Amino acid sequence: MSLFESPSFETISSEIKSTTHPGGSYVLALTSLGNYYVSSASAPSNAIHLFDKSFLKCVQTLKGHQNATTALRTVRSIGGSDRHTLLSAGKDGCVIAWDERSGAPTIQMTTSGRSSTVLSCDASHDGLTVAAGTALQKEDAFILYWDPRKSSVPLRVHGSTHSDDITAVRFLKNCPSPTSAQILLSASTDGLVSTSNSAEDDEDEAVLNVGSWGCSISQAGWTRNSSTNRVWAASDMETFSCWSDELDMLQNCDIRHPSVHSHGRSWVTDYLITCHNTKRSDSNLAVFVGSNEGDVALLSSSDVTDSSVPWAINSVWAKGHTGVVRSVFWDENHEILVTGGEDSKISTWRCPIPRQSSGFDEGAINMDSAILKRERDDEMDISESEPEGKKAKRQS
C-alpha cells in the first residue's frame, strides 16, 4: 500500500472559525442540520448542541439523553415527514427524533423493556423504518426496528445476527427499487459485517450476507464503485477494509502503514477518524485520518476495492487541535470541513473538492520509517507561510 501527494495537495493551517464545546468534553459526533452544525460529546455531557454555521456560536442546546448520547445522525425524513431530521441514540436505550425548532423530541423510540444501551441508529430513505443496534447485554445484542409512526414498541427485534456490541447500522440509500431500500448493513465488535432485509420478521430469513473480518469493527458504511454498491469498514486496530455487496472482502489494510515524505513534508497516519461518501463523484470514498498532534488528512483511492492501487493524500489541516480529533463532518455544499477533538474544540476549515487523478507522483517518496513520523522541518514552516496559491500539490 503506497501513498502519494495528489496534484492539488495543500496544507491548510488557518481555521475559518473555532469555538470551545460547552462543558469541556470530547467532541464525539458532528453533523449538519439546516443552518446549524450539531455536536454531541463524551460523558458526563448528555446534551446536543447546535452551532450557527456562519459564526460557530452555540445557539441552542437539546437536553439529549438521560445517559450519554452514543450516536448522532441527520436523516432525510422520519415518519413520512418531508424535512431533514436529527436522530440520536443513547445509553438510556432510546432513539429520539428531534424538532430543533421547539428543542423537544418529536418521536421517542424505546427498547420496550430491554434496558440495553443503543450504540447506533439510522432511518430508511423514506423515513418509514428506523433501525438501531444495541450493546451486548448478558449474551444478547439486538437489532431493533421501529415504524416511527407507531413508536411505542419495536416492529421486530433480531437477536442472533451479532454476538457483541452492534457499532453501526446503515440503510442502503438512493436505491433504484423499494426492495433494495430495505437492506440494512450492520457491523459489530464480534468481527462480522452483515446485510439484512429490514422488512423480514424471521431473522433467519432476514440475513442476506455475512462477512467475517476477525477483528473488532468500530465503523461501517456503504459506498459505490462503478455504480456498484460496496461496503467499507474500520476496526479498533486502525485497519480499513472494503467488501463487495455480497460481503466478500476486496481490500484489508492498515491505514497507518502508508506514509509520505517529500518536498520537506512528512505525513504518517496514527488513526482513522471516519469515511465520507462524496457527492461530486461516483468514485469512492473520502477517508479522514488523524495524527496524535491533532492534524487531519484526507486520503482517497481511485479504487478502494483494489489493494494494488496507490492512495493519495489530498489535504492536511494542521495546527487546529492539540490532541486526537474524534470527529469530522464534511459540508460539501459549502466546501467546509468541521472538526471536533479531545481538546473540546470545534473548528471549521476551508475544504476544497479534490481534483481527480489516477497517476503516481514520482516526486513523492513512500517511507514507512517511524523516524519520519513527527518531522516538521524548516521547509514545512516555509511552505505553510506561503500564499495558498503556491501550495498546490496533491489528490487522487
pLDDT (tens digit per residue) in 122-146: 999 999 999 999 999 889 999 999 9
Torsion angles phi and psi, residue 383, rounded to 5 = -60, -45
pLDDT value, residue 372: 32
The lowest-confidence range among 17-31, 165-179, 321-335 is: 165-179
- On whether residue 223 sits in a domain, the answer given is yes
pLDDT value, residue 279: 73
DSSP-derived letter for residue 318 is -
R_g over Cα of the chain: 21
- On whether residue 86 sits in a domain, the answer given is yes
151, pLDDT greater than 80: yes
Q: What angle do CA 385, 389, 393 make, to 5 degrees?
A: 90
Please, what is the average pLDDT of the chain?
A: 86
240, pLDDT greater than 50: yes
- On whether residue 396 sits in a domain, the answer given is no
- Mean pLDDT, range 228-239, rounded to an integer: 95
Cα separation, 267 vs 290, whole angstroms: 10
pLDDT value, residue 258: 67
385, pLDDT greater than 60: no
29, pLDDT greater than 70: yes
**Residue given cell 480529533 in the structure block:** 325
117, pLDDT greater than 90: yes
pLDDT band at 396; cut points 50, 70, 90: very low
Q: Which three cell numbers stand for residue 183?
A: 437492506
The lowest-confidence range among 71-75, 78-82, 106-110, 324-328 is: 78-82
- On whether residue 347 sits in a domain, the answer given is yes
Cα separation, 235 vs 179, whole angstroms: 29
**Percent of the chain as helix, strand, coil, to the nearest 5:** 5, 50, 45
Task: Kindly give the residue spans of alpha helices, DSSP state H, lying in the chain.
Answer: 178-181, 203-206, 378-385
pLDDT value, residue 1: 64
pLDDT band at 235; cut points 50, 70, 90: very high
What confidence tens digit (pLDDT) does each residue in 265-317 have? 789 899 999 999 887 654 578 999 999 999 999 999 888 888 889 899 999 99
pLDDT value, residue 260: 77
- On whether residue 210 sits in a domain, the answer given is yes
Burial of 315 (0-12, 13-18, 19+ CB in 10 A): buried
- Tell me if 141 sits within 8 A of 158, measured CB to CB: no
Cα separation, 189 vs 118, whole angstroms: 14
pLDDT value, residue 390: 37
- Tell me if 235 sits within 8 A of 251, measured CB to CB: no
pLDDT band at 380; cut points 50, 70, 90: very low
pLDDT value, residue 35: 95
99, pLDDT greater than 80: yes
Share of the chain above pLDDT 90, in %: 66
Residue range of the domain that includes 201: 3-390
CATH number at residue 211: 2.130.10.10
- On whether residue 246 sits in a domain, the answer given is yes
What confidence tens digit (pLDDT) does each residue in 310-367 have? 899 999 999 999 999 999 999 998 999 999 999 999 999 999 877 654 443 433 333 3
Continuous segment of H or E residues that includes residue 209: strand 207-212
Decide which of 356 and 105 is more confident: 105
- On whether residue 395 sits in a domain, the answer given is no
DSSP-derived letter for residue 92 is T
Contacts of 113 (CB under 8 A, 6+ apart): none
pLDDT value, residue 370: 33
pLDDT value, residue 376: 33
pLDDT value, residue 75: 96
Cα separation, 320 vs 208, whole angstroms: 43
- Strands 183-188 and 192-197, how do they pair? antiparallel
How many domains are contained in the chain? 1
Share of the chain above pLDDT 70, in %: 86
Q: How far is CA 136 from CA 89, 142, 221, in A?
A: 15, 8, 21
pLDDT band at 39; cut points 50, 70, 90: very high
pLDDT value, residue 217: 98
C-alpha neighbours within 13 Å on the C-beta side of residue 390? 7
- On whether residue 91 sits in a domain, the answer given is yes
